[in-house]
Homo-oligomer: A and B are copies of this chain.
Amino acid sequence: MLDQPFTIIEGGITAPEGFAGAAVCCGIKPESLDLMLLASDRPAAAAVTITKNAFRAAPTFVTQEHTADGQAQVIVCNSGNANAATGRQGLDNARKMAALAAEQLGVECPDVIVCSTGKIGQQLPMDKIQGGITQAAIRLTRDDPDSLARAIMTTDTFPKMVSVQFAVGEKLVKMSGIAKGAGMICPDMATMLCFITTDLAIAPEILNASLQQDVELSFNCISTDGCMSTNDTVAVLANGAAGSAPIESSESEGYKEFRAALGYVTQELARMIARDGEGATKFVEIRVSGATSWEQARHVARAIANYDLVKTSLFGEDLNWGRIAAATGAADPELDPNRVTINCAGITAWSHGEPASFDEAQARSAMQADEILIEVDLGIGDAQATVWTCDLTYDYIKENVGPDG
């Protein structure tokens, strides 16, 4: 951490200057926070990444339209209902959600980002949404950021937030992010909800290019169950309220600091999501090295992360490295096992085309850790990638048999 050009700070999503928010229980979920508003006091540079699922939710279309000009000011988000697979009425409702937020906060409707998360295939209860937006709009504050992180949770067991501060010239700039994940975390694109605020001044196209790159290395590197959601959205608002000189190219003062901060915020939130996978008891980091390309390394790492037999043996605290070998070999039939090295929890299990001998008692003990590192070296190149996941447990099934997900 010593070399990072930023500092981790206290404070949540409203820590950057000019941002305020409010969370309410509008009644979609029985007794929890289920709607939040997050607003900048001025129009902000905006960038988003959105799920590629063909059945993507209505609000993702509205958000895409409203951020096409690289500017936004408000994020409105409900949990408990995904407004996905809801047809024309769903699209009308998403537009109405944006219009209601715009009206209540006195901003332009095309500056509102709309998100929903929760059950697929049900229409939003618009009377409750309307009541919630009205209620939240009059409660905007900088003092209750935790409740915003809580209002977007579904089966998450803890709110996910991180804040940093960095210098652009002589000005201090803050950046803060919240995220929700837990189920439907998958390997094929932006994979959950994440909102990032910063009082940095930055050109929208630089913000957008940076976000796309960092999402590849963070949210697109986590997988809890290999299921791609209909609603995944990552949105960043940069309102310039810190008064720093605008970042207009990769040569601008503060660009490196900004990239380091955005990389840290997105990866840290991604790791929190993997750690909080539905029913998870273990956090698992999979590092694939010695690949011919980053794409190959991530492909193999994801394949291991999605291999149910690997995930159940992690839950069982069993060093079943043969399943890691099987997952690796299944991911890329062209690999040469003689060049592959497999380490799990610090124990070398396979190298030079032979199983390695190791102490069984030591292996059992190593597998009991809460965090497990799986390292696979393909032995054919210099590229590497890291993917984060969790184990597959009884509780994953318990949480997903019912009608609420």
Contact = CB atoms under 8 A, between A and B. Distances in A.
A288 to B, nearest CB: 14
A323 interface: yes
Interface string A297-333: 0000000001111001101101011110111111011
A229 B326 contact: yes
A343 B298 CA distance: 35
Nearest to A306: B226
Nearest to A330: B228
A287 interface: no
Nearest to A355: B121
Contacts of A121: 321-322, 325, 349-350, 355
Contacts of A56: 329
A349 B187 CA distance: 27
Contact of A312 (B54, B327, B330, B400): B400
Interface string A377-405: 00000000000000011101110111101
A225 B308 contact: yes
A156 to B, nearest CB: 16
A355 B394 CA distance: 31
The 4 closest A-B pairs by CB, nearest first: A120-B322, A316-B401, A55-B329, A87-B354
Interface of A: 52-56, 82, 84-89, 119-122, 183-184, 186, 188, 225-230, 306-309, 312-313, 315-316, 318, 320-323, 325-330, 332-337, 340, 349-350, 353-355, 392-394, 396-398, 400-403, 405
